[in-house]
Amino acid sequence: GVDVAGVGTSPASGGDGYLWSQERDEVVISVIVPPGTKAKDVAVRCTKTSLEVAVAVVSKGGVHCGQSLLSGDLAHPIDPEPREDDEDVDAMDVGGGRVFGDWELTDFEPHSLGGRRAIRVTLRKKGFGMMVHWWQKAVAGGAEIAPDAIAGRAPGKAEESRRIWDEATAAFKEKVKNRELVEVDPGPDEYEG
């Protein structure tokens, strides 16, 4: 199930905005598009840190041009989509040839309500080991949601993690403060010429 949803307006001009939701490991951004939009009219470009969604539009003169509906930096970096030959997600080469994000075109509302469609872009959240990173917003500059309102989020986990981190940091600082200096004899100077 969806753990939290947000609504935002597109940073780019035009369009009806976007909706977004997240689960533990992924974020889904749904960009609303006009009725009759076909997959061949859609262009989605996704990198580790940015997303652009555009559709082809036919002007009155019959000229095709692209209309950017969402273009900007993601609120957080994402991981590439896994490949069949990937054995370890952490060891993946995030360089050339990697695909970031996956998309599909779906119906958003029934024809009786306007028949708009949605481009659903699914992004894999950047892995942080055992920790779950709940996003407050999907795109930089977008409207924020409160992470403590997320259904399914274990209450107190963030506070517990912060407490453990603070204790570990304090212990490290104390150890550094109380360390004894050790003199090291470099031996004969072999580098004098």
pLDDT of residue 42: 94
pLDDT of residue 65: 76
Distances in Å between the Cα of 43 and the Cα atoms of 12, 76, 86, 110, 127 are 14, 22, 27, 24, 27
DSSP state of 101: -
**Rounded CA separation 137/145 (Å):** 6
Q: If you search the block for the tokens 């990697």, which residue do you land on?
A: 98
pLDDT of 74-110, one tens digit each? 999 999 988 766 554 444 444 456 889 899 999 999 9
Q: What is the pTM of this model?
A: 0.67
Give all strands of the β-sheet with 50-58 in edge-to-edge order. Answer: 42-46, 50-58, 64-73
**Average pLDDT of the chain to the nearest whole number:** 80
Residue by residue, pLDDT tens for the chain (193 residues) are: 444 555 555 444 455 689 998 988 999 999 999 899 999 999 999 999 999 999 987 767 766 678 889 999 999 999 998 876 655 444 444 445 688 989 999 999 998 999 999 999 999 998 877 778 888 889 998 888 877 666 666 656 666 777 787 888 898 899 888 888 888 887 777 665 5
Q: If you search the block for the tokens 């550094």, which residue do you land on?
A: 176
pLDDT of residue 96: 56
How far the first Cα of the chain sits from its last, in Å, is 72
**Rounded CA separation 54/70 (Å):** 7
pLDDT of 101-116, one tens digit each? 899 999 999 989 999 9
